Amino acid sequence: MVQQIARRLNRSMEEKLSPHGLNLQQFAVMMTVHEFDGLTQTEIGERFSMPPYAISRAIDHLEQANLLKRRQHPTSRRALTIHATEDGRTLGLALFEIVNDVNNELTAPLTDSQREQLGGLLKALL
């Protein structure tokens, strides 16, 4: 059941993301950068256990699309820090709405108290 729901969620997200030219991984990176500007790539990856090479490629794409840019880490010459561009910050706001929409859509069959209950149970499983 969890898997079926997750698949529905994914499809739903991808649909709403595709007009922006993003896939789910790129979306996750954008959200993280929107919340914390200036993290290194590894740090971003740790936020949702995404392997380094995936981050690398997601950022390739996002940098190409002029949503992010890489900069030298101030103290380490091997790390890079990731920053949202103007376009990136704008898109970030649109992304928040998408998450909300999808969440509401998914949990529409539940009452508010059920929603809380579900949240609690799921958190216990993490």
Partner DNA sequence: CACAATCATTTGCATCTGCAATAGTCGCAG
Partner DNA sequence: CTGCGACTATTGCAGATGCAAATGATTGTG
Q: Which residues of this protein are in contact with a copy of itself, per CB under 8 A? A: 1-7, 9-10, 48-49, 106-107, 109-110, 114, 117-119, 121-126
- Residue closer to DNA by CB (options 57, 99) is 57
109: helix, coil or strand? Answer: coil
Q: Of 5, 55, 57, 9, whose CA–CA distance to 29 is shortest? A: 55
Q: Which 3 state secondary structure label does DSSP give 53?
A: helix
> Contact with DNA (CB under 7 A): which of 2, 4, 19, 51?
51
Q: How many CA atoms lie within 13 A of 116 on its CB side?
A: 2
Among the candidate windows 55-63, 91-99, 103-111, 116-124, which touches DNA by CB under 7 A?
A: 55-63
**Which residue in 12, 25, 85, 107 binds DNA (CB under 7 A)?**
25
